[in-house]
Amino acid sequence: MDVTRRSFAFFGATALGSVAMGGRAFADAPSSIQGVLVQDAGAACRVTLALDRPAQARTFFLAEPSRFVIDVANAHLAMPGGASGQGPGAGVVRRFRYAPQADGVSRIVLDLNGPASLVRQEVGGRRNAALTFDIAASGPFTAEPAPVPMQRPGRQQTRRTIVVDAGHGGRDPGAIGVNGTREKDVVLHCALELRDALEQRGYHVALTRDADNFVELEDRVRFARGQHADLFISVHADASPNAATTGASVYTLSDRGEARAQNMISSQNWDLDLGNARESTTRDILVDLTQRETTNRSAQFAQVVIPKLGEVAPLVRNTHRNAGLFVLLAPDVPAVLIETGFLSNATDERRLADPRARERMAGAMARAVDEYFTPPGLYAAAD
């Protein structure tokens, strides 16, 4: 996979630029590339490199035939198929190839079905060292292709699917406020308001329940996966022995929860789209990579929705929390659980009992969904 001198003229010609790669800027210990996952992400194709430690890469496009090259410095390829090989693609990516280069560089080449542009690039941190690239088909190849115009999510040809889950219901009232307000009633109305707000924006929305009925936790997760949801939002209201505790919070899956999710894949016979991977070692790596990618996406939405909620409601300290809650376990659906407030607090209960306040919270969540699906140029994960 040699690259000619002419080819290097296209370095940095991606739509959003490249991450600089320069000699001693990297840690002395090399990173290990353990897997490559290529997924169809609707309007784009998402390529994720699983790493054991943070790394940087430079990227560039080549023409005739169309290719996208990822050079990871100070890295070695620890892929199940060995130090060089290839794997299946998806969407605009026909296949990927990988091989070591000189000076400790590992190269991944994506063979494309046609000209494309880089519309999103994410650099992971210590907790999630993956490198992620979103690539979308574009017009005829040029040395400096223009960025793909970003439309509002609801106006894209492929509609995003959001599953909204109203917690509890039926025989399970959930938390009960100091003045008798029931969680199941509050969160159902909030979920219905969120559905309406999202549908007005053009999203496809599915509810796990739209009436006062009980739904098993397993069925909520199964429903979200069956809908091929792009995002799962579970709406709840909290309670605490401390009546002074107030404010909204957002939960995403914890590290312990990720291990629980791995076990659920087998116990619930959950099928994952892992391309043509058949060897157990390869599948294990890709399952882990899929789970890490999902957890990372969930955390990104949490970071977007928290300030939006803060505009319309008080927030607890340490607003972003982690737990192994069952509704967050889907390995391939980004998911958050939003606690809208504490019914055990009289002030929060009054707020949550007010339909206008619930409507404002639903509007805040909908605005966060819009922002989440509007790709920025570059994300750097917090360590």
Q: What's the rounded mean pLDDT across residues 133-148?
A: 56
User: pLDDT value at position 264?
Assistant: 57
> Could you report the per-residue pLDDT of 31-82, keeping only the tens digit for each?
888 888 888 876 788 898 888 888 888 899 988 899 999 999 889 888 877 7
For residues 189 and 294, the model is more confident at 189
Query: What residue spans in the chain does CATH classification 2.60.40.3500 cover?
Result: 7-147
Report if pTM > 0.75: no
Query: What residue spans in the chain does CATH classification 3.40.630.40 cover?
Result: 154-372
Q: What beta strand segments (E) does 42-178 contain? A: 44-51, 57-62, 67-72, 75-77, 85-90, 93-100, 106-112, 116-123, 131-137, 161-166
| Calpha distance 114→136 (Å, rounded) | 10
Q: What beta strand segments (E) does 7-56 contain? A: 31-41, 44-51
Q: Does domain 7-147 have CATH number 2.60.40.3500?
A: yes
Alpha helix segments (H runs only) across the chain? 183-200, 217-226, 255-267, 280-310, 346-352, 355-372
State the pLDDT confidence band at 306, using cuts at 50, 70 and 90.
Answer: very high
What phi, psi does 340 have (nearest 5°)? -75, -15
**SS3 of 220, please?**
helix
DSSP string, 278-315: -SHHHHHHHHHHHHHHHHHHHHHHHHHHHHHHHTTS-E
Q: What's the rounded mean pLDDT across residues 197-207?
A: 95
Top-ranked range on mean pLDDT: pick from 43-52, 224-233, 270-279: 224-233
Which residues are CB-contacts of 271 (< 8 A; sequence separation ≥ 6)? none
Q: For strand 116-123 and strand 131-137, is the pairing parallel, antiparallel, or unpaired?
A: antiparallel
| Calpha distance 64→369 (Å, rounded) | 38
Which residues are CB-contacts of 277 (< 8 A; sequence separation ≥ 6)? 283, 286
State the pLDDT confidence band at 156, using cuts at 50, 70 and 90.
Answer: very low
Look at 16-30, 60-74, 229-243 and tell me which has the smallest mean pLDDT. Answer: 16-30
**SS3 of 50, please?**
strand
Shortest CA distance to 169 belongs to which of 181, 184, 188?
184
What phi, psi does 123 have (nearest 5°)? -110, 120
* Amino acid found at 113: N
Q: What's the rounded mean pLDDT across residues 2-17?
A: 36
CA Rg, the chain, in Å?
Answer: 22
- DSSP state for residue 53 in the 8-state scheme: S
- DSSP state for residue 74 in the 8-state scheme: S
Q: Map tokens 């300290």 to a residue.
A: 317
Q: Kindly tell me the sign of the dihedral angle through the C-alpha atoms of 121, 124, 161, 183.
A: negative
Top-ranked range on mean pLDDT: pick from 13-17, 23-27, 133-137, 286-290: 133-137
pLDDT over threshold 70, residue 300 = yes
Secondary structure (H, E, C), 175-209: CECCCCCEHHHHHHHHHHHHHHHHHHCCCEEEECC
How many CA atoms, within 13 angstroms, populate the side-chain half-sphere of residue 111?
A: 11
Look at 27-36, 78-87, 236-245, 281-290 and tell me which has the smallest mean pLDDT. Answer: 281-290
- DSSP state for residue 134 in the 8-state scheme: E
**SS3 of 365, please?**
helix
Please report, in angstroms and rounded to a whole number, the separation of the first and last CA atoms in the chain.
Answer: 34
Q: Does domain 154-372 have CATH number 3.40.630.40?
A: yes
User: pLDDT value at position 140?
Assistant: 42
